[in-house]
Structures are given as C-alpha cells and as structure tokens.
C-alpha cells in the first residue's frame, strides 16, 4: 500500500490561466535550493581545487565522464550569462556573419573571453552541426584542446551491427584515455550507468504523475528536472532525494479539474524559459517534452557497449536533439508518440533563429503533422535571456485559443 507523505500536499484553486497558486511544497523548495546551489562558478572553484572539468559531454556520454572523474559542463553554459557581449566578440573578432545563429557567435565569443581560464578541453560528438565543428577549430587558436567522438548513426535495427557497436565502444574508450591516460574503470562506469537509469526511472514516474496534476509542478521546475538528468546539479544523492519527494507529493496531489490545453513541446526553451510561462498563462500545459533522453542503458552487457547501444537506440527513437542524422529525421515520430500518449491537443516546436538544421527539422515536422490534421506551430528565439517578443506571445496565445 502506498504510504502517505509526511505532509499531505494540497492543490489550491488555480486562477484564470496562471498556474502559480499551488500550496507550498517541500519538494519544489528542495528543487529550487538544489538548482540555486549549482553554478558554473562552483565548478570553476572545484577546478581550482584540482578537479578535472571539460566543456561538453553533458548528454548520453555523461556517465563515462563521471567514471573518469571529470565534470562535464553543458555547452549551454557558454551563453547563459552576458551572451550579448560574447556574441559581439563572435561577430567582431571572429567575423562570424551577423545572420548566423546567436548560439554559434556566443559560443566562440565566450570561449575566446575565457581563453586564459583553466577549463581548456572540449568534447563533442561528430553528429554536431557544421558551424560548431568550424568554431571549435577556431577555438584551437585560443589554446583549446578538442576531441571528437566519431559519429555513428543507425536508422534502423539492422544498422546496429556488432561492428558498429564495437566501433562506438572503442571511440568511447579513446575518450577515457584522452581524459585520464588509461582505459575506463568498468566497474565504476557500471555504477554510473545504474545511477543514471535509476534517475531516469524516477523522472519518467514524475512525468507520468504530472499528467493528472500538471500545475502542481509547472513547466520551469519540470524543465529543471529534465535538465538535471545528466548533471544532477552536482549532487546526485540530493537530486535523487528531491525526485523522491516530488514523486511522493505528486502521488497525493489533487488532480487538476480546471480545463486546459495539453501540449507537446519539441526543442529547448532558449532565452531563459519565458516562453514556458507564456504557454501556461495562456491556459495550456506542456505534458510531453522532447528535450532529453529518458530511456535506459542496458545493464547486462559490458558498459561501453551499453553506452553505444543507448545512443544508437536513442537516435532511432528521435531523441537527443542532434541537428542532423537519425535523431533529427525521426524526431517527429517521438513527438507523435508523446502526442498520443499524453492526450495532447497540439504541438509547439522551438528552434534557434538562423539555425539551418532547426529550420529543416521544423519544416519536415510541420508538413508531417499538417498532413495528419494535428495542430502545430513553430517558434524561433535567440539564446539570449530575454522576454518573449510580442509576436511570440501573440502566436502562442492565438494557437492555444484556436485549440480551446
Ligand atoms: S543554432 Fe543550429 S547551427 Fe547554430 S550552433 Fe546551434 S545547432 Fe548549430
């Protein structure tokens, strides 16, 4: 029998469209404290004290990095703060044309501004976009050392041949040697994989429980949980405790009775997540998220092979958010599965302005879903932390009204 949470949590009345009037929650407070405690400055301090950290590797590769006692830093940190200043360096110093995406300009600009700092290694997967590969070459001129995991793509089960899995497992072993000078400790990697699977199971449970009480855990904290899948806010034990608290509270949350429009969101919430608030203020709730892989690594095979299987399977499910290849081509099927399983009434896709990869993926998805009569809108934004534009707000509101 399910046990009662120590402090029963109650959903209070939700007012017109805004989803911010729920009762105080120990779990949400603990999540907030955990997210506040984690910062890039903290990682830098650890590096000062002798820890190893690199840019990149904050996706499916993260268990390998932790097994190598290396802290992966999400590339997104490069444009989290003062991104306009970094973008200007990209345009003026590196002469990246203004019409290129803000992501690439802020990225190379911030790397340049940090060239005298201690974190000087960058890991990336060969499936990344061409602009990123190009600017990483430029970063070498600022003294950065880069390492590319050769890309492997599997479009169907038959593509996942033993030699493909072995190739990718060997690539990952080379990463371990690059990081530490020796092969990975397999027992340690198995531990990291098990922990990642445990966290994914808990996150999946939260997403499932949230279907009936989506405003108990609104979009921004939900996104924080999804983003914590890989870095756990630098404190896996506390992250697991917070996830358990959330599960406990959500199990007892009063189901939402107020009418709202359920949606699927594909892509990130660039620009500080303001658009998520706009969606909720328009009386909609995001129930399906296409942003982070939440499936499981096999635990009954050697761990490097398990990682290879994970990435190849994730690609064929349309996860991982890669700009090209299987993940991008199949993303629409992943969206469709979520659309059906969550009972969503519409789809929002989001991409960075000036991203040629994002535009192609969005167009493919618009064509695909329009053919099926499924409502969809595509939004674009920059990487800068800015309020959504009037046009974006109007588009979201009109879309939700149309679905009402
Ligand atoms: S926005 Fe698109 S083109 Fe620009 S860096 Fe990101 S993935 Fe690459």
Hey, where are the domains in the chain? 1-37+186-257, 41-149, 259-404
Please tell me the distance between residue 242's alpha carbon and the centre of ligand 1 in angstroms: 33
| CA separation, residue 245 to residues 26, 133, 166, 192, 207 (Å) | 8, 41, 40, 22, 14
In ligand 1, which atom is closest to the CA atom of 358?
A: 2
Residue nearest to atom 2 of ligand 1 (CA): 355
In 10 A of CB 345, how many CB atoms? Answer: 19
What angle, 0 to 180 degrees and rounded to 10, lies between the N-to-C axes of helices 186-210 and 303-316?
A: 30
| Strand-pair partners of 376 | 347
Q: CB-based burial of residue 141 (10 Å sphere; 0-12 exposed, 13-18 middle, 19+ buried)?
A: exposed
Q: Which CATH class is domain 41-149?
A: alpha beta
Q: What span, in angstroms and rounded, lies between the C-alpha atoms of 365 and 228?
A: 27
Q: What span, in angstroms and rounded, lies between the C-alpha atoms of 5 and 348?
A: 35
C-alpha triplet 315, 321, 325: angle, nearest 5°: 50
> Is the CB of 357 within 6 Å of ligand 1?
yes
**How far is C-alpha 285 from the geometric centre of its chain's CA atoms?**
18
In this structure, which topology does domain 259-404 adopt according to CATH? Rossmann fold (3.40.50)
Candidate from 137, 351, 355 with most ligand 1 atoms within 8 A of CB, to mutate: 355
> Is the CB of 324 within 6 Å of ligand 1?
no
Q: Are 65 and 88 in contact (CB under 8 A)?
A: no
pTM comes to: 0.90
> Is the CB of 103 within 6 Å of ligand 1?
yes
Walk along the chain (404 residues) and give the pLDDT tens digit of each residue: 334 444 434 434 333 344 444 568 999 999 999 999 998 889 999 999 999 999 999 889 999 999 999 999 999 889 988 999 999 999 999 999 999 999 999 999 999 999 999 999 999 998 888 899 999 999 999 999 999 999 888 887 788 899 999 999 999 999 999 999 999 999 999 999 999 999 999 999 999 999 999 999 999 999 999 999 989 999 999 999 999 999 999 999 999 999 999 999 998 776 567 889 999 999 999 999 998 777 899 999 999 999 999 999 988 888 877 666 788 889 999 999 999 999 999 999 999 999 998 899 999 999 999 999 999 999 998 999 888 889 989 999 999 999 99
Q: What span, in angstroms and rounded, lies between the C-alpha atoms of 176 and 248?
A: 38
> Is the CB of 278 within 6 Å of ligand 1?
no
Please tell me the distance between residue 319's alpha carbon and the centre of ligand 1 in angstroms: 17
Candidate from 129, 331, 359 with most ligand 1 atoms within 8 A of CB, to mutate: 129
Q: What pLDDT, on a 0 to 100 scale, did the predictor assign at position 225?
A: 95
Please tell me the distance between residue 238's alpha carbon and the centre of ligand 1 in angstroms: 33
In 10 A of CB 113, how many CB atoms? Answer: 16
Residue nearest to atom 3 of ligand 1 (CA): 355
Residue nearest to atom 5 of ligand 1 (CA): 104
Q: What pLDDT, on a 0 to 100 scale, did the predictor assign at position 267?
A: 87
DSSP tally for the chain: helices H, then strands E: 15, 8
Please tell me the distance between residue 222's alpha carbon and the centre of ligand 1 in angstroms: 24
Query: In terms of DSSP bridges, do strands 284-290 and 261-266 run parallel, antiparallel, or are they unpaired?
Result: parallel
Q: What pLDDT, on a 0 to 100 scale, did the predictor assign at position 270?
A: 60
> Is the CB of 131 within 6 Å of ligand 1?
yes
Please tell me the distance between residue 230's alpha carbon and the centre of ligand 1 in angstroms: 21
Report DSSP state, residue 321: T
Which of 112, 122, 123, 116 lies closest to 90 in space, CA to CA? 112
Residue nearest to atom 6 of ligand 1 (CA): 103
Q: What span, in angstroms and rounded, lies between the C-alpha atoms of 53 and 43?
A: 8
Q: What span, in angstroms and rounded, lies between the C-alpha atoms of 17 and 284?
A: 8
> Is the CB of 203 within 6 Å of ligand 1?
no
Within the chain, what is the greatest distance between any pair of CA atoms? 64
Domains 41-149 and 259-404 share a fold: yes
Q: What pLDDT, on a 0 to 100 scale, did the predictor assign at position 70?
A: 96
Residue reference for tokens 């970094």: 86
């Amino acid at each position: 029998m399910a046990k009662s949470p120590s402090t029963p949590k109650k959903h209070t009345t939700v007012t017109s469209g805004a989803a911010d009037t729920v009762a105080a929650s120990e779990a949400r407070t603990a999540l907030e404290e955990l997210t506040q405690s984690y910062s890039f400055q903290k990682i830098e301090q650890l590096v000062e004290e002798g820890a190893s950290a690199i840019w990149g590797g904050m996706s499916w590769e993260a268990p390998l990095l932790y097994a190598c006692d290396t802290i992966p830093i999400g590339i997104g940190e490069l444009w989290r703060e003062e991104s306009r200043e970094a973008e200007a360096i990209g345009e003026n110093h590196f002469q990246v044309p203004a019409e290129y995406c803000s992501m690439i300009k802020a990225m190379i600009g911030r790397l340049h501004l940090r060239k005298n700092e201690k974190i000087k290694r960058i890991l990336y997967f060969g499936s990344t976009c061409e602009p990123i590969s190009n600017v990483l070459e430029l970063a070498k001129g600022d003294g950065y050392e880069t390492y590319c995991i050769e890309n492997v793509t599997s479009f169907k089960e038959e593509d996942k041949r033993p030699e493909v899995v072995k190739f990718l497992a060997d690539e990952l072993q080379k990463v371990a040697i690059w990081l530490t000078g020796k092969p990975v400790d397999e027992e340690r990697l198995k531990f990291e994989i098990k922990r990642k699977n445990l966290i994914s199971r808990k996150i999946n449970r939260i997403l499932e429980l949230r279907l009936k009480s989506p405003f108990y855990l609104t979009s921004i904290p939900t996104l924080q949980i999804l983003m914590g899948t890989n870095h756990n806010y630098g404190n896996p034990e506390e992250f697991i405790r917070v996830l358990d608290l959330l599960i406990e509270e959500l199990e007892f949350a009063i189901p939402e009775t107020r009418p709202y429009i359920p949606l699927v969101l594909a892509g990130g919430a660039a620009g500080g997540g303001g658009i998520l608030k706009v969606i909720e203020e328009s009386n909609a709730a995001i129930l399906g998220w296409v942003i982070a892989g939440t499936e499981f690594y096999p635990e009954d095979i050697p761990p490097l092979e398990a990682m290879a299987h994970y990435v190849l399977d994730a690609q064929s499910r349309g996860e991982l958010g890669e700009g090209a290849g299987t993940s991008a081509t199949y993303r629409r099927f992943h969206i469709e599965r979520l659309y059906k399983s969550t009972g969503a009434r519409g789809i929002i896709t989001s991409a960075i302005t000036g991203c040629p990869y994002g535009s192609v993926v969005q167009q493919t998805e618009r064509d695909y879903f329009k053919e099926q009569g499924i409502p969809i809108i595509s939004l674009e934004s920059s990487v800068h932390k800015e309020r959504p534009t009037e046009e974006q707000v109007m588009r979201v509101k009109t879309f939700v009204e149309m679905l009402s």
